[in-house]
Structure 1
Amino acid sequence: MSIVLSGCNGFRNRGVEALIAPSVAELHKRFPGGEVTVLSGQPAYDETRDVDAAFVLDPFIGKVRSLPVRRVGAGIAPRVFRSEARAISAIRAADAVIASGGDNFSSDYGDFRMHLEPLKVAQKAGKATFMLAQSVGPFKSDEQRNHFCSVAKAVSLITVRESRSYDYVTKDLGLPSDRVHLTADPAFLLQPSGEDRVQRLLRRYGVDPAAPYVTIAMSRGIARFPGLTTSGAETAQTHLAVLGRLVRHVLDELGAQVLLIPHVQETLPKNNDLILAEEIVDALEDDRIRVAWGDHSAADFKGLIAAATLNVAERMHAAIAGVSTATPTMVVRYSVKADGIIGDLLGASAREDGAIVPFEEYLRGEGAGAVETFQNAWDNRGKLRETLEAKLPEVRRLSESNYDLFQEVLSSGGRG
């Protein structure tokens, strides 16, 4: 069995790695001896990770306007369109193409047709196609809706990672419910680095493993996220001040340690959390602040978060790193996916227990809202941990069911 995974922007975003790495592992479990190829925006970087897959450049990422030219060019001038020809060749040689999970198919990140392209190529070649653990929409225009549905209606199976997307896909978009399944995010299956490795990292960064510490996975991109009612340079400055106030609260009021987690380290400065970590350290000039500066894997970061007393997450997969290890986590909501994933996991009490806070509320009073929610989560951390421990076996089963469903379709020799 040969499978192509698409939708991978690159592992510099550890959330992408947290999606792809367990997906590759689960596919190998179900199809022993099979081959997995990942179409990636950054294959040279991604292949340095311990993931049993071949990495091929996805030539369609960021190339929306020239998609038809690139597709045709790969056929008539493969020496000119080498990357396109190689990707298309991998798709045509595969038994199936699976669009990896996340929220690629939404209006939040602009034109998502580049992520539909591998599926379109596969469908034209008569291959089975799947959408894996997606958060879908809501789409802001009929054009976007039509682009998605034109491809989605021909896929063998769609799995979605939260109930909001299930309702949107089956009711608002009207896709057949027998081809849509509610599962869970693949990152719930990512294994954190082992205890010895985590202890070494904590000592490297000056964190006492025996004392309470809080991880803060801050996001340099959140203040400029297009889906928010407030974003831009002024919001970014307010955001920095809020993070400073939150760090001070943890250090001074609670006497706990702080470890900053730069979960996304893109080459673009606007989405590189290392830069924000540096800004926080410079602004506060407090030697007690610790930063996990290294080029760590998603598993390393998950291990550091798992050992924390409490996790603050402005990144969705840093949040999942916390909740999937039963670490009490305060999620800063910047899109509907957080409501769906955390709401499904913790229920209606998530807000009142401090497990989730909208970004706008988080910024209120230059950090008063953030500190208030954090203190609530801190006070409820025992309750949050117990709830997570009770829910996680079922969530992990749902995550595994993504691959069971694919196996059922592919092993039958059908397309759904």
Structure 2
Amino acid sequence: MNNKVTLYMHSGSGNHGCEAIVRSLTELLHSQDPTITPDVMTNDRAEDLLYVPEDICHFVEEKHMARNVINHTLYYVYRKLTGDKESFLRYRFKPMYKNPPKVGVSIGGDTYCYDYMVEEIMLTNSMLHKLGTKTILLGCSVEPDLVKRSDVAADMKLYDKILARESITYNALLDAGVSKERLELAPDPAFTLDTKFLPLPEGWQEGKTIGLNLSPLIGMYAEDKDIALKCYEDLIRHILDTTDNTVALIPHVVWDRSNDNIPLTSLYEKFKDTGRVLLIKDHNAPELKGYIARCRLFIGARTHATIAAYSSCVPTLVIGYSVKARGIAKDLFGTEEKYVLPVQDLKSSKQLIEGYEWLNEHADEITGKLKEAIPEYIVKAKRNGSAVIELLNSKS
């Protein structure tokens, strides 16, 4: 491992949002300082290599305690006896622990949207600081209620730098006592992701294809876990019945544990005989962005699928389940209303169909707003790279 910059809390590139962050951030670092080739601690190196070349970063696999029964038992007993919660993280991140980087970059900013995932990211931040590593949290979204917890607020103040990707989080962190010297507002680095245009599949109508993305995750947040699938089914039927458009179903996460292809394949099977519903195969993040960029409209649940749409100036409706969706839309358009449909509020197909119709009616206006906003957004997103480099070069 190098001793300059290590990215951590990367879950694997089968989540193409995680991939998009790694790709865009390492490209920003390399373009600003070609001597930086960061290590990326990863849950699954083999998975990453399916999608991302190791030209400007190097993937280092975390150690998996669950795969070693003896170690798992010993560490569990030790933790029970001593109360040393960081011991599990020292094992998991052993390569980084043994050779601490000067700067540790937490790219698991989504983690702070889910209170059940917070402990390990806080413990890792603490562990790295004890090793003398400076830490920076990039592209983060934090539920305002979560940061009211004293332990989370203390953790936030421990970071040497935080770049919040939307203003709801930025203001919540200020209210929690994070100093302005350590806190900045900068768009998600994935706004800078390159786009790769592959040949379009048979049946795709340029200018007349509606992109849809659906995540199994939203079933965890909806009052009725099956409502989203039913709403998407009725929306597709509405599009087919009232227009001559094509529908493209676009997965953005393909992990076994959270696979967009499961609900999307279910939808595809219902409509494939129409010849107007396509299921896009798995691709890397720039290639998926290439498909999303050529949609007339996009309706999606995965944050980075919608960032791919926004940054390509495609009118987008987000089926959101956390602060990140609301905050990003609010910063882009001045309001989240009409641009985000919270899954918690989703009760009937009528809501989604009305959301689609509004998006369709205002498509030209929305495209104009995005064309005006996105160039500046991309410039601001480059701050994610320069902030890391500044921390690396700082003498304090």
Instruction: Give your verdict on TM over 0.5.
Output: yes
* Distance (whole Å) between structure 2 residues aligned to residue 186 and residue 286 of structure 1: 39
State which of 128, 137, 160 in structure 1 corresponds to 2:134: 128
Do residues 264 (structure 1) and 253 (structure 2) align?
yes
Q: Contact between 2:146 and 2:152, CA under 8 Å: does it hold in 1?
A: no
User: Which residue in 1 is equivalent to 2:69?
Assistant: none
User: Which residue in 2 is equivalent to 1:237?
Assistant: 226
State which of 293, 298, 320 in structure 2 corresponds to 1:306: 293
Do residues 322 (structure 1) and 309 (structure 2) align?
yes
Partner SS, residue 110 of structure 1? helix
User: Which residue in 1 is equivalent to 2:350?
Assistant: 368
Partner SS, residue 218 of structure 1? coil
Do residues 177 (structure 1) and 180 (structure 2) align?
yes
User: Which residue in 2 is equivalent to 1:138?
Assistant: 144
State which of 281, 288, 297 in structure 1 corresponds to 2:268: 281
* Distance (whole Å) between structure 1 residues aligned to residue 88 and residue 269 of structure 2: 49
Partner SS, residue 184 of structure 2? strand
Residue 266 of structure 2 aligns to which amino acid in structure 1?
E
State which of 340, 345, 353 in structure 2 corresponds to 1:356: 340
Please state how far the C-alpha of 1:285 moved relative to its aligned partner. Answer: 5.4
Q: Which has the higher contact order (CA 8 A, sep 6+)?
A: 2
Please state how far the C-alpha of 1:209 moved relative to its aligned partner. Answer: 4.3
* Distance (whole Å) between structure 1 residues aligned to residue 147 and residue 140 of structure 2: 19
Please state how far the C-alpha of 1:401 moved relative to its aligned partner. Answer: 1.4
* Distance (whole Å) between structure 1 residues aligned to residue 60 and residue 350 of structure 2: 46
Deviations, residues 205-252 of structure 1 (Å, cap 9, x unaligned): x23343510110111111113xx5x1xxxx233222111111112222
* Distance (whole Å) between structure 2 residues aligned to residue 309 and residue 125 of structure 1: 50
* Distance (whole Å) between structure 2 residues aligned to residue 303 and residue 277 of structure 1: 19
* Distance (whole Å) between structure 2 residues aligned to residue 285 and residue 215 of structure 1: 15
User: Which residue in 2 is equivalent to 1:118?
Assistant: 124
Q: Contact between 2:108 and 2:140, CA under 8 Å: does it hold in 1?
A: yes
Within-5 A mapping of 1:141-220: 145-171=149-175, 173-193=176-196, 195=197, 197=198, 200=199, 202-203=200-201, 206-220=202-216
Q: Contact between 2:189 and 2:381, CA under 8 Å: does it hold in 1?
A: yes
Please state how far the C-alpha of 1:409 moved relative to its aligned partner. Answer: 3.1
User: Which residue in 1 is equivalent to 2:6?
Assistant: 4
User: Which residue in 1 is equivalent to 2:278?
Assistant: 290
Deviations, residues 149-169 of structure 1 (Å, cap 9, x unaligned): 333322211110011111110
Q: Contact between 2:134 and 2:391, CA under 8 Å: does it hold in 1?
A: no
Partner SS, residue 150 of structure 1? helix
Deviations, residues 157-182 of structure 1 (Å, cap 9, x unaligned): 111001111111011x1111211011
Gaps of 5+ in 2: 67-71
State which of 364, 377, 390 in structure 2 corresponds to 1:395: 377
- Closer, same or farther: CA 122–360 of 1 in aligned 2, 3 Å: closer
* Distance (whole Å) between structure 1 residues aligned to residue 204 and residue 94 of structure 2: 52
Identity across the alignment (%): 25
* Distance (whole Å) between structure 1 residues aligned to residue 207 and residue 393 of structure 2: 50
Residue 43 of structure 2 aligns to which amino acid in structure 1?
G
Partner SS, residue 382 of structure 2? helix
Within-5 A mapping of 1:42-57: 42-48=44-50, 49-51=52-54, 52-57=56-61
Q: Contact between 2:136 and 2:162, CA under 8 Å: does it hold in 1?
A: yes
Q: Contact between 1:3 and 1:95, CA under 8 Å: does it hold in 2?
A: yes
* Distance (whole Å) between structure 2 residues aligned to residue 297 and residue 15 of structure 1: 10
- Closer, same or farther: CA 29–118 of 1 in aligned 2, 3 Å: farther
Partner SS, residue 178 of structure 2? coil
Deviations, residues 97-138 of structure 1 (Å, cap 9, x unaligned): 0111532123x2513122233322221111211111211233
Do residues 333 (structure 1) and 313 (structure 2) align?
no
Q: Contact between 1:58 and 1:87, CA under 8 Å: does it hold in 2?
A: no
Deviations, residues 179-202 of structure 1 (Å, cap 9, x unaligned): 101111111011111x3x2xx2x2
Q: Contact between 1:159 and 1:402, CA under 8 Å: does it hold in 2?
A: yes
Q: Contact between 1:7 and 1:101, CA under 8 Å: does it hold in 2?
A: yes
Residue 112 of structure 2 aligns to which amino acid in structure 1?
F
User: Which residue in 1 is equivalent to 2:36?
Assistant: 34
Q: Contact between 2:40 and 2:59, CA under 8 Å: does it hold in 1?
A: yes
* Distance (whole Å) between structure 2 residues aligned to residue 260 and residue 100 of structure 1: 27
Partner SS, residue 406 of structure 1? helix
User: How well do the aligned residues superpose, as a CA RMSD in angstroms?
Assistant: 2.5
Residue 301 of structure 2 aligns to which amino acid in structure 1?
E
- Closer, same or farther: CA 277–60 of 1 in aligned 2, 3 Å: same
Q: Contact between 1:10 and 1:17, CA under 8 Å: does it hold in 2?
A: yes
Gaps of 5+ in 1: 76-80
Deviations, residues 10-64 of structure 1 (Å, cap 9, x unaligned): 111111111121011111222322230111122221133135322123348999x
- Closer, same or farther: CA 139–89 of 1 in aligned 2, 3 Å: farther
User: Which residue in 2 is equivalent to 1:78?
Assistant: none
* Distance (whole Å) between structure 1 residues aligned to residue 319 and residue 89 of structure 2: 43
Do residues 380 (structure 1) and 385 (structure 2) align?
no
Q: Contact between 2:147 and 2:153, CA under 8 Å: does it hold in 1?
A: no
User: Which residue in 1 is equivalent to 2:391?
Assistant: 409
Q: Contact between 2:207 and 2:295, CA under 8 Å: does it hold in 1?
A: no
> Comparing 7-16 with 42-51, which one deviates more in the overlay?
42-51
Count, aligned residues: 379
* Distance (whole Å) between structure 2 residues aligned to residue 364 and residue 152 of structure 1: 36
